[in-house]
Structure 1
């Protein structure tokens, strides 16, 4: 029987719950004035801890004469950066209790701060104090005590909170469990259960825990153990369960982070990064990697939007719906074949309709009252809209359409799709998919069996015609809708003169080159060391008897014609776009550079990027057409030594090869490719040809889409082939046919 699904409680802490709670959707509450709490930013210490005044920190007595290692400062520095930034610009989003947590943290010694941050960066839960391996902290025991004695406490002691014997046993190592269970006899089939993972000797961790628990339940006393008094006190003193006391003696002191502190600083990380942490995942990875110079980010001025959330109530509501969306997204995929779970998920989605409608009404009023000529108002209407409850509810309702489809509740799905299409504020980029799905549902599921489909076909045709008039529908989706429209009109028996015809969708087709290859069996001895058992793509035999992919086989063919090249798919074109558009991408604009750790402006994948920069982009395209080589050399020379992290960039492509391919493509075509990507980067960054080839003697460039046996071109690929050919790029489709199977 399927276990009940964990559902998030929107009225409780936003931290992802570990148990089922009753759902109550968040309601809008009147904004409260920010509490007047005095706080300070983290002091910028530059001296070693030993040189600080004793009045500012607890006195630590070194446990050994060995000098401590230097602190791995990047952990603490990255944490302080986010904390100080939020306290400086958005402290109005924090409660008085949360501000108190911040003030107490900033008053701690550097070692205490460092220990807490290291614990915060790892998986949250109970940890044995003797397992804390931080040699850079000279007096770890004293530092733990400092955190225990904070008010409010930053960590908790297991002696006060950990009372479950099974939880205690999980903290033991396998060897410790073996020693602990040695005086016990084995649990026989007649006296106790065995776990599914039990080995024949019963010496795995799960079976040892099961054995210890079995004896603890059946024998209240430990007549075969030597009774001993613990060297530390427990909450119940000597009255503690003797079976637990025996475990405590082995594991020693146990600590974990206090839940209130976790919630406070996870909220600060959320505010700083503009996104929720996933489980115990540390959102500061990018900061740490940047600090140790493993990752370098583009240089641009950071402009925090202190007014992104107008007040704490608005932020809390956004935060709760963010966690709800995350929970629904994960659960809907895991439970897509479980009708009972899907019903519960749909019930949650359905309750988001009302707050979605309220947010939509508010947003429409804001649009009507804003200045359409203001660049800032455009950013507000596009990018900043992603930080509203309405945007999150739209994503939740989009999930709801998939849930209803899996439940085969097509009438409700169609109603929800129509509701989403009736607005043009949120998730405009999904409108094409909504039209496509609605037309399919109306065509196939609205007619009782045995009844004529005329009415359903007519309704679906109306939806298709509506989609054709919508400028937000992507051309790839549009082509699918046109094909469906043709089937509908044929089914309705419409005359040729009354049928819809769209000449603009007629595309150029690339010439086809056919080659043959010998496909290798992935179970043969020759490929056993090369191909993973889970590797599902067909493999082929190269000229020198190596095992290669279908794209590599095609590269071999073009090498015989004197071409050099890469199996780059989209990466060459996105890299050319990034380098040629570097100055456009990282030009300061309000609200799009919130942290120093971005690989692109935050609005690049939205429909705000192009209109907010249209005039600058059009001017820059003229420069690219005339001096693309100079731009590429300048940016490549500056950024390649740093291996700068930028969207679409692959530094494995050598500069000489990049320039050779750019020359072969030509300035006019490069400008056209960049223009296409700039207009809709999110949808147009995929579907480009697999192979990028150039001829070193004549400089010719050729783009090749490779198709194996039974493979066909997608609509996105057809669009790019037509676009490239229109720009004058040499394009081919290379079809691989089987010579024989080995």
Structure 2
């Protein structure tokens, strides 16, 4: 598009970020500038929309909008923009994200599921899309009959406003009304309110995207991809993270034939590598995929050029018989498996060049034979992968790094079917979490590194893990420490790339500890992490413990280990679990007869006494021992299997926890039991503090519709962000009688158990069991457990004992930690047991001992 045909708009005219507490701290738009810029377009948005194209599709969609406005108007969460005339008369009309006084229930279903009318989605239709320069047309032609079954079905599947909003935003970016993002995140989050203002006036005769150019694929996976893109770009903030060329490319995807769109989304969900088209079969798309592969290649969404691909990659794509065939043609030994044959071929390819002038080199001969067999092949270009990776990140920035694109689409499908419901949020705010385009790109790179290192650990590829750890170390060394100094909330700092690189580096430490040659590198990394004070301060205690452990067990330097432990105890960021673990290490050092000086022992003893005077002492919990028959011993990291007898006759095999559960419920004191671990306290916590979790506004706490918890829940700031509401809730609960409290908890459990949240949906057989546990624990017990989690959810969500047993007739319960042979209590488990005991709850440690019995020979 010629720049001369497009009148540019300055950032200070149409794109302002306003952040304020009580008074505005931004800059207001000048009505005079807007008059000069768009004197011919000073009409409201409602008037502008009446002048859009008059096509069958636009009439059809307009009728759908009327239906949606009547039936689902309350579900719309689209960004309201300000037209040029509105800006002149009412400059305070801006997009704001602030706490509302009135509750708003938002619909968290899939925001877009599209099915189009037949006239624009005939099979195989290809749109000749180019952004058009056309006058706006009248939209007065008749609409389809409102009783049309197809129309009602379409309206049920589509969020028309999202599609229109996205297209308008893309057009506004093309003409310069929306400009590249450059947010001052520190200022944004220091204020209570975030506002963004820009003109929504469409320049007449400008090149623009049009709704009628979209070909709706009418297929689940392709519809989901369209939904994702439209949902992301319906928020104008997200448009500012992309270039105009990228947005042109994205929009052009949805002008391709339905089959090509269906094929593309399936390639996107597959392993991102080269694929032989002959091995890809999607009969639900077409029996012949070649035309659609060609369409994707011609439009730039696939590449088929193998010339720059490395020879080992080419050979690896071949079947073993094909590799053997090449060996035979090149007079190479063709016996053996595929890796051996590939090794011989690569050796041949790296051999000396031919002595004959003009003859091909061995490497060229090898590559040509492989290419002849492989053709045709396709893969997604790197720029396409990166482009959609950024879009998916904006849609779901908190997706579990162990999940893939296919997992994301599975979630979208489950949401659309109603199989997954996310909690309704009071306020779906649109606070930015990325400063600019470069910030987003860097974050995606670090996020992919985290995803990769988790996959490598699962494969136990320790060499590759170490390489990635070294790469993360180099990335952190490039960062100016002044750039990491931030006043951002802790939950927003998670989107700073350096935060993720710190996580990658921390995860890699175990791989460096596996060989004596790399122990020193593990020490260097831990020292680097400890020196890093901008991110993950809550992990410093663990890093100190790791460093002290290396000195004690790997290097046998007890003095250095003691020195590190004593120094660590002086840190202010330590958790209760950290302090307890470091004290236990000092006790072990004190028991050593050699390797540690008397002077160091005196220092240790002094520190122990000081901490004991502060009450940091773990009391021993009552324990019992039971004996049973072991069917198989636990492998490393696994669980042992035990023979369990029911009613003195029937036998089955289960875990040590199930054995203990059967032992306790067989007694008359407790008739019901549950293997719960951390699921019980987290469920109690979610039911108890649901309003504070999902109905309290905190800027940036919810950045996606597919979130099961506020982001700040996993930081030290969660309590302070909601202190007033939490304290009021606890005061309210303690004023209730037990019957009222249990009914209140049961009602809330029934209401909230349907949602995917932090609580478990499968722990209890029914709500009556939940009510009985609440009754047996009592107000003090439930409130005490919830207070512990609200103080530091990230720390205390784990470590809770294994079992809870109760008797609804006597209103008594017992909480039990089960330990098999050779298993010991962790420091966190000890602290949980001690805390529960202080609440007046009956707790116990059950040790299970037994004899080995091979189940296969019974």
TM-score, structure 1 normalization: 0.70
CA distance in 1, matches of 2:373, 2:367: 10
The equivalent residue for 1:91 is 239
The equivalent residue for 2:771 is 659
Corresponding residue to 2:746 among 624, 633, 636:
633
1:136 CA drift (Å): 5.6
Corresponding residue to 1:289 among 398, 409, 414:
414
* 1:197-222 Cα shifts (integer Å, max 9, x gaps): 79xxxxxxx99x999999x9xxxxxx
CA distance in 2, matches of 1:415, 1:244: 45
CA distance in 2, matches of 1:547, 1:741: 12
Distance 1:162 1:49, change over 3 A: farther
Corresponding residue to 1:128 among 271, 277, 300:
277
Q: What SS does the corresponding residue of 2:419 show, helix, strand or coil?
A: coil
Distance 1:161 1:628, change over 3 A: farther
- Structure 1: any 5+ residue segments left out of the alignment? 1-32, 35-39, 61-69, 199-205, 217-239, 368-379, 523-530
Q: What SS does the corresponding residue of 1:351 show, helix, strand or coil?
A: helix
Q: Is 1:520 paired with 2:644?
A: no
Determine if contact 1:79/1:117 at 8 Å carries over to the other structure. Answer: yes
The equivalent residue for 1:617 is 726
Distance 1:335 1:211, change over 3 A: closer
1:611 CA drift (Å): 1.9
Distance 1:462 1:408, change over 3 A: farther
Q: Is 1:362 paired with 2:362?
A: no
The equivalent residue for 2:758 is 647
Determine if contact 1:519/1:541 at 8 Å carries over to the other structure. Answer: no
Distance 1:612 1:135, change over 3 A: same
Q: Is 1:75 paired with 2:186?
A: no
Q: What SS does the corresponding residue of 1:505 show, helix, strand or coil?
A: coil
* 1:314-337 Cα shifts (integer Å, max 9, x gaps): 222333333445555666887887
Determine if contact 2:544/2:565 at 8 Å carries over to the other structure. Answer: no
1:291 CA drift (Å): 1.7
The equivalent residue for 2:388 is 265
* 1:624-670 Cα shifts (integer Å, max 9, x gaps): 44354234322332244x4x222231324121111111110111111
CA distance in 2, matches of 1:343, 1:482: 31
CA distance in 1, matches of 2:644, 2:788: 37
1:27-426 counterparts in 2 under 5 A? 48-52=116-120, 57-58=125-126, 73-87=219-233, 88-124=236-272, 125-128=274-277, 131-135=280-284, 143-150=292-299, 153-157=300-304, 167=314, 170=317, 192-196=333-337, 255-274=378-397, 281-282=405-406, 283-300=408-425, 303=428, 305=430, 307-327=432-452, 347-356=470-479, 358=480, 360-364=481-485, 366-367=486-487, 380-399=488-507, 405=513, 417=526, 420-422=529-531, 424-426=533-535
Q: What SS does the corresponding residue of 2:624 show, helix, strand or coil?
A: strand
The equivalent residue for 2:808 is 696
Distance 1:136 1:630, change over 3 A: farther
Distance 1:497 1:594, change over 3 A: closer
Determine if contact 2:115/2:217 at 8 Å carries over to the other structure. Answer: no
* 1:424-480 Cα shifts (integer Å, max 9, x gaps): 4310110211232344456678898xxxx76x477346414414xx2x312222112
Q: Is 1:476 paired with 2:577?
A: yes
Between 603-612 and 426-435, the greater mean CA deviation after superposition:
603-612
Determine if contact 1:349/1:396 at 8 Å carries over to the other structure. Answer: yes
Determine if contact 1:550/1:706 at 8 Å carries over to the other structure. Answer: yes
The equivalent residue for 1:586 is 694
Q: What SS does the corresponding residue of 2:478 show, helix, strand or coil?
A: helix
CA distance in 1, matches of 2:293, 2:522: 55
CA distance in 2, matches of 1:464, 1:147: 58
CA distance in 1, matches of 2:307, 2:461: 42
1:734 CA drift (Å): 1.7
Corresponding residue to 1:540 among 640, 643, 650:
643
Distance 1:482 1:296, change over 3 A: same
- Structure 2: any 5+ residue segments left out of the alignment? 1-13, 16-52, 62-111, 129-215, 350-365, 592-597
Corresponding residue to 2:620 among 482, 492, 509:
509
Distance 1:81 1:603, change over 3 A: farther
The equivalent residue for 1:226 is none
1:50 CA drift (Å): 2.2
CA distance in 1, matches of 2:252, 2:718: 42
1:423 CA drift (Å): 5.4
The equivalent residue for 1:596 is 705
User: How well do the aligned residues superpose, as a CA RMSD in angstroms?
Assistant: 4.8
CA distance in 1, matches of 2:287, 2:332: 50
CA distance in 2, matches of 1:447, 1:185: 56
1:579 CA drift (Å): 2.1
1:486 CA drift (Å): 4.5
Q: Is 1:670 paired with 2:782?
A: yes
